[in-house]
Amino acid sequence: MIKIYHNPRCSKSRQGLEILENSGKEFEIIKYLDTVPNESELNAVIKLLNISPLELVRKNEAVWKDSYKDKTLTDSEIIAAMVAHPKLIERPIVINGKKAVIGRPPSAILKII
């Protein structure tokens, strides 16, 4: 089943959700600010995206700038920061089987559905 890691307050995430709704396919919405993924779930998402943990971080968030920006962090520490502060996780993320994309731009979602 298709999954979307969604933040309803984010316009790109809402656009990504609309793409899924219009696709006619079944999907699951994970409001990741309410249901925070744990470290192993984030590791799995990062592996599917084929990116480094740092590439999943929203670097313009105040918590990143204030607490992490100028530090040398391991991948595990970056993932732990996203678990502790889920608003650091880039969104939306759409997973379909063994494929995943960050929906920026939202049209990128079309490649995997």
- The two beta strands, 93-96 and 2-6, are antiparallel
Say whether 37 is catalytic: no
Q: Out of 2, 6, 7, 10, which one is annotated catalytic?
A: 10
The dihedral over CA atoms of 10, 8, 13, 36, expressed in degrees to the nearest 10, equals: 100
Residues identified as active-site: 10
